[in-house]
């Protein structure tokens, strides 16, 4: 374990006042300084809830049941909104899927970046503004002095996402959580935004937690991957290892279900699907939650949730892991 | 059945709405049983005038300046209030929904035309307009219902138009066009049911407004002279305001509680319909 | 040479948005043969959805020809169009807003038959149930409302509704882009099977070139209201001709770690 900057241990989140209805069922992982960790999974797997928990932004309808989140070794007071305000942006920045939702339509975008800086640092106005312009330049926005005075609706989706990234990085955080940052964007813009994030990471050493459902994005931008399914961590591994030697049948299924022109001919024009659907969070099944959809499932899988197994940095929670490598 | 059950649980959980419903039920009970408890019409002089509540056995809530039973007036007045309130809002709903639905669904010049007409009605102060209509057509229950409908429909039309403008863009409406459904069928069987929750809430509160306006009309002497309403009772009582204030106050409280009841029910319905609305429209 | 099922010639669509006149479809010509899957690929705002709406008669064209099986249907009014409705159907993108929340599932699927008065009431219901079964929905769920279903299941309902009249042409407007990967594969495979079994032709609108590459016969690339490139799917992917297609393919991250990272993602190149 090189240098974990963020550590999440046994995080359990349930629907408020319903400890039996778990959204996160005891998730543990860490993020190393300067790396990109991708959290992958389908809707309802808990990946977004994990990021909201780290930011102390859990919706009112849910509550933390157990677990700790440590940032640089100290526990984050995620239920204390006032204390978390100091953490947000200053130490952990966040980028959302919908940039429009993160910005106030009534203020020029430069002002909104300025606000973030002034919230966390006492700076003369002129210096703070100079920093805004500098930030907008760094995220490759054209004519930052003029653009700073534009209102959000005047900018394109890609430009807005750049502004949000500038806001997230305004106070030099150590971790940036990017929750589906490019899902609402066209592929060409997606590539630009991802390249921007990677370059900022190289220049500032910020660790990125990339939450996404896009495995292609993961393959080319992440150092490590954590796969989640129905509130559990299914598998975690260095990116290359995960793609070539997935051990959890869900990871394997996900990889095989993803359209890939390079493999299409082998599949005869049809995609390989994972049958069935994700179980309801209220379903109290005792075993592995993937078992009903799993080709390898046995009675053991339905009865008992598997303990995580580690082979070096590659961990998975499965009684009957996949053994053949993907070609 | 499931929907009925969920409505019932919602009512039992929301005690404000429950209170509103109980009050409203009381008013309905009064209206229904008036002839049973008081076989004589409410404008009969049945005892000595200006008897305070509790003073005269035949009239528990006292008598007015002409010796009429105030309790009987309350019961018979409830009939008129409910009749006027519900009838005028029903007429207003039918008209408002038609105008709003067509304006919102078709847009363009139809919308322009219908909305200009609606605005014309809205720019005239409601109560003034009602008085003018009654003054021109003469005071009778039918005319009062009509006049209140005339002033109430524009608000419903605007609400329905807004809902239709949002809903007509939904993919399911496009889907109905693609399968070849006629406009009328789309408007009335596909969009309208989804637009009704807001209208239901609004109309509940509009019934309260209509009842208050009817009383105000009666108070000012624009009411139907042949019937006893809470408004006329309040109007009569103003002559004895100093020595017998109960004559005005008792029907005033009845009016207040009825209006309150309808507002509570409206709020309760709103709370009940809104979370459903959100899940039905897909977050 | 047989006639194409759908032929579009020099189609223009423009309309007013607020005070501005926009021109989302600028002279499009394309054809779709019987039994073929033609994918129309482009980025947001390229006009692909407007094109679909125009073919479906939801948007009037300003000029050009839309020929369905030899009949010009461009600019027909709703009464004239009703005759063609059973032949051209559509599956929408958003599985949440594309079904009336107040109708039961079997009612939703039966509705097109009701409108065109095909068969009596019991045969229509039977057809609806057959269709439910065909798309993989249990028949005893017919009395449920759409909000009781997941996104993928709702998309199956939408497909059943679109296919209950046995159309020839199905226009799929991003039918899986709102779905998760594993469910996306289920729906794509279902569409593929249905096409094989019912002899359908698809106009498949998508922003995902990688997805359509795996199952479309031909691809038409759309950019700023025009078709800039058409060709067999394989060929467009491996040997793109137009600058826009190349730029798009360069930016697509293929989920494969053995392939080099696409240049658009590399920072060392800067």
Residue-level pLDDT at A266:
47
Tell me if B38 is assigned to some domain. Answer: no
- Please count the structural domains in chain B: 1
Judge whether residue B206 has pLDDT over 70: yes
Give the pLDDT confidence of C111-121 residue by residue, as tens digits. 999 999 988 99
pLDDT tens, B239-278? Answer: 888 888 999 999 999 999 999 999 999 988 888 886 554 4
The average pLDDT across B145-161 equals 96
B37 part of contact set with chain C, CB < 8 Å: no
Contact A45/C at CB under 8 A: no
Cβ(A198)–Cβ(C265) under 8 Å?
Answer: yes
- What confidence tier does B282 reach under pLDDT thresholds 50, 70, 90? very low
Per-residue model confidence (pLDDT) at position C81: 86
Q: CA-to-CA distance for C104 and C110, rounded, in angstroms?
A: 10
Nearest chain C alpha carbon to A190: C251
Query: A259 and C258: CB-CB below 8 Å?
Result: no
Of A218, A259, A273, which is closest to C182 when you measure between CB atoms?
A: A273
In a domain, B156, yes or no: yes
Judge whether B136 is closer than 8 Å to chain C, CB to CB: no
Among B250, B218, B276, B213, smallest CA distance to B68 is for B250
- The pLDDT tens digits for B47-105 are 888 888 888 888 888 888 888 999 999 999 999 999 999 999 999 999 999 999 999 99
Is residue B248 one of the residues assigned to a domain? Answer: yes
pLDDT tens digit sequence for B121-134: 999 999 999 999 99
The overall average pLDDT reported for chain B is 90
In a domain, B49, yes or no: no
Instruction: Say whether pLDDT at B281 is over 50.
Output: no
For residue B170, the chain C residues in CB contact (below 8 A) are 97-98
* Nearest-CA distance B107 → chain C (Å): 13
Shortest CA distance from C166: residue in chain B? B179
Q: Is the ipTM of this complex over 0.90?
A: no
Distance from CA of C208 to the nearest CA of A (A): 8
C250 CB neighbours in chain A (<8 A) are 191
Nearest to B179 among C85, C92, C99 (CB): C85
A294 touches chain C (CB under 8 A): no
- CA–CA distance, B226 with B135 (Å, rounded to integer): 16
Q: Domain of B180: which CATH number?
A: 1.10.3720.10
Q: Chain C within 8 Å of A221 (Cβ-Cβ)?
A: yes
B181 touches chain C (CB under 8 A): yes
Chain B's closest residue to C52, CA to CA, is B178
Q: Per-10-residue mean pLDDT for chain A, 327 residues long?
A: 85 91 94 96 91 92 93 90 87 90 92 92 92 95 94 93 94 94 92 94 95 94 96 96 95 92 62 88 90 94 94 95 84
* B175/C57 CB distance under 8 A: no
Chain C residue nearest residue A238, CA to CA? C257
Q: Which domain holds residue B210?
A: 16-29+70-276
In a domain, B65, yes or no: no
Per-residue model confidence (pLDDT) at position A13:
95
pLDDT at A269 (0 to 100): 57
Residue B112 located in a structural domain:
yes
Kindly give, in sequence order, each residue whose CB lies less than 8 Å from that of residue C260, ignoring residues fewer than 6 positions away.
none
Q: Indicate whether B283 pLDDT > 50.
A: no
Neighbouring chains to C with at least 3 Cβ pairs closer than 8 Å: A, B
pLDDT of residue A66: 93
Tens digit of each residue's pLDDT (9 = 90 or more) over C90-114: 999 988 889 999 899 999 999 999 9
Find chain C residues with C-beta within 8 A of A275's C-beta.
Answer: 186
The span from the CA of B135 to the CA of B150, in Å, is 14
Q: Give chain C's contact residues with B (Cβ, < 8 Å).
A: 53, 56-58, 78, 81-82, 85-86, 88-90, 92-94, 96-102, 111-112, 115-116, 147, 158, 161, 165
Express each pLDDT in C230-247 by its tens digit. 999 989 999 999 999 999
Interatomic CA distance for residues C11 and B119, integer angstroms: 41
pLDDT > 70? residue B190: yes
Under 8 Å between Cβ of B106 and B84 = no
Residue B44 domain flag: no
Greater model confidence, A219 or C17: A219
Is residue A60 within 8 Å of residue A248, measured between CB atoms? no
C120 and chain A in contact, CB less than 8 A: no
Among the partner residues C93, C102, C147, nearest to B279 by beta-carbon distance:
C147
CB atoms within 10 A of CB C117: 8
Is B251 in a helix, a strand, or coil?
helix
Q: Which residues contact B23 (CB under 8 A, 6 or more apart)?
A: B257, B258, B260, B261, B264
Q: Residue C164 CB: number of other CB atoms within 10 A?
A: 25
> Nearest CB to C267: which of A195, A240, A261?
A195
The shortest CB-CB distance from A194 to any of C153, C208, C265 is to C265
Helix (H) or strand (E) holding A198: helix A187-204
Task: Supply the mean pLDDT for chain C.
Answer: 92
Average pLDDT value for residue range C186-215: 93
Residue B7 lies inside a defined structural domain of this protein: no
């Amino acid at each position: 374990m090189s240098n974990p900057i963020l550590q999440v241990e046994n995080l359990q989140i349930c629907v408020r006042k319903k400890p039996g209805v778990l959204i996160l069922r005891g998730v543990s992982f860490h993020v190393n300084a300067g790396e990109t960790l991708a959290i992958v999974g389908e809707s309802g797997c808990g990946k977004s809830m994990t990021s909201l928990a780290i930011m102390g932004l859990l919706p009112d309808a849910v509550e933390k049941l157990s677990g700790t989140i440590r940032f640089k070794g100290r526990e984050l007071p995620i239920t204390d909104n006032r204390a978390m305000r100091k953490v947000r942006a200053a130490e952990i920045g966040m980028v959302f899927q919908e940039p429009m939702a993160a910005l106030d339509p009534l203020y020029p975008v430069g002002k909104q970046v300025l606000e973030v800086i002034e919230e966390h640092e006492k700076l003369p106005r002129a210096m703070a503004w100079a920093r805004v312009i500098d930030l907008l330049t760094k995220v490759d926005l054209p004519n930052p002095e003029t653009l700073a005075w534009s209102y959000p609706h005047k900018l394109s989706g890609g430009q807005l996402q750049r502004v949000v990234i500038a806001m997230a990085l305004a106070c030099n955080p150590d971790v940036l959580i990017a929750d589906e940052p490019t899902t609402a964007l066209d592929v060409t813009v997606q590539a630009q935004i991802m390249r921007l994030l990677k370059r900022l990471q190289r220049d500032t050493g910020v660790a990125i937690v990339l939450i996404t459902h896009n495995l292609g994005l993961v393959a080319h931008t992440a150092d490590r991957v954590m796969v989640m399914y129905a509130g559990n961590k299914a598998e975690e591994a260095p990116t290359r290892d995960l793609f070539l030697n997935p051990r959890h049948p869900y990871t394997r299924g996900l990889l095989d279900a993803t359209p890939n022109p390079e493999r299409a001919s082998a599949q005869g024009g049809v995609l390989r699907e994972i049958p069935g659907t994700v179980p309801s969070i209220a379903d109290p099944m005792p075993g592995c939650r993937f078992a009903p959809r799993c080709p390898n499932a046995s009675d053991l899988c339905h009865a008992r949730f598997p303990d995580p197994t580690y082979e070096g940095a590659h961990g998975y929670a499965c009684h009957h892991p996949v053994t053949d490598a993907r070609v | 059945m499931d929907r009925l059950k969920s409505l019932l649980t919602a009512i039992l959980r929301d005690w404000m709405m429950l209170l509103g419903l109980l009050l409203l039920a009381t008013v309905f009970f009064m209206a229904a049983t008036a002839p049973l408890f008081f076989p004589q019409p409410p404008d009969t002089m049945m005892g000595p005038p200006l008897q305070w509540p509790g003073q005269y056995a035949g009239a528990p809530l006292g008598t007015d300046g002409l010796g009429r039973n105030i309790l009987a007036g309350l019961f018979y007045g409830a009939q008129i209030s409910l009749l006027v309130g519900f009838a005028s809002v029903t007429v207003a709903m039918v008209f408002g929904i038609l105008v709003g639905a067509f304006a919102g669904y078709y847009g363009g010049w139809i919308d322009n035309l219908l909305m200009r007409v609606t605005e014309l009605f809205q720019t005239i102060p409601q109560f003034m307009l009602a008085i003018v209509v009654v003054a021109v057509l003469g005071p009778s229950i039918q005319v009062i219902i009509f006049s209140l409908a005339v002033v109430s429909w524009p608000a419903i039309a605007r609400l329905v138009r807004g809902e239709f403008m949002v809903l007509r863009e939904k993919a399911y409406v496009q889907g109905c066009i693609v399968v070849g459904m006629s406009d009328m069928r789309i408007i009335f069987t596909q969009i309208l049911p989804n637009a009704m929750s807001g209208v239901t809430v609004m109309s509940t509160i509009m019934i309260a407004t209509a009842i208050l306006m009817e009383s105000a009309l009666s108070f000012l002497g624009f009411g139907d002279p042949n019937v006893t309403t809470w408004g006329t009772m309040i109007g009569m009582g103003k002559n004895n305001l100093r020595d017998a204030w109960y004559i005005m106050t008792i029907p005033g409280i009845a009016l207040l509680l009825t209006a309150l009841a309808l507002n509570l029910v409206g709020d309760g319905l709103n709370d009940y319909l809104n979370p459903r609305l959100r899940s039905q429209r897909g977050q | 040479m047989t006639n194409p099922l759908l032929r579009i010639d020099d189609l223009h669509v423009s309309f007013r948005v607020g005070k501005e006149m926009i021109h989302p479809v600028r002279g499009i010509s394309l054809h779709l043969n019987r039994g073929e899957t033609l994918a129309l690929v482009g980025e947001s705002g390229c006009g692909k959805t407007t094109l679909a709406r125009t073919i479906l008669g939801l948007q009037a064209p300003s000029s050009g020809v839309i020929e369905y099986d030899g009949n010009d249907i461009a600019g027909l009014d709703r009464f004239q169009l009703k005759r063609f409705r059973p032949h051209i159907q559509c599956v929408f993108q958003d599985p949440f807003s594309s079904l009336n929340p107040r109708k039961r599932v079997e009612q939703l699927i039966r509705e097109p038959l009701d409108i065109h008065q095909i068969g009596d009431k019991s045969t229509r219901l039977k057809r609806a149930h057959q269709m439910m079964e065909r798309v993989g929905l249990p028949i005893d769920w017919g009395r449920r409302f759409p909000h009781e279903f997941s996104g993928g299941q709702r998309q199956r309902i939408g497909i059943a509704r679109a296919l209950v009249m046995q159309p020839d042409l199905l226009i799929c407007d991003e039918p899986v882009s709102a779905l998760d990967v594993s469910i996306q594969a289920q729906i794509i495979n279902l569409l593929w099977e249905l096409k094989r079994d019912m002899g359908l032709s698809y106009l498949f609108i998508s922003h995902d070139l990688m997805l359509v590459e795996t199952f479309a016969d031909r691809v038409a690339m759309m950019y700023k209201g025009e078709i800039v490139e058409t060709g067999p799917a394989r060929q467009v992917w491996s040997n793109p001709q137009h600058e826009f297609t190349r730029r798009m393919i360069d930016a697509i991250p293929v989920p494969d770690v053995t392939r080099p990272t696409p240049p658009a993602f590399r920072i060392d190149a800067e």
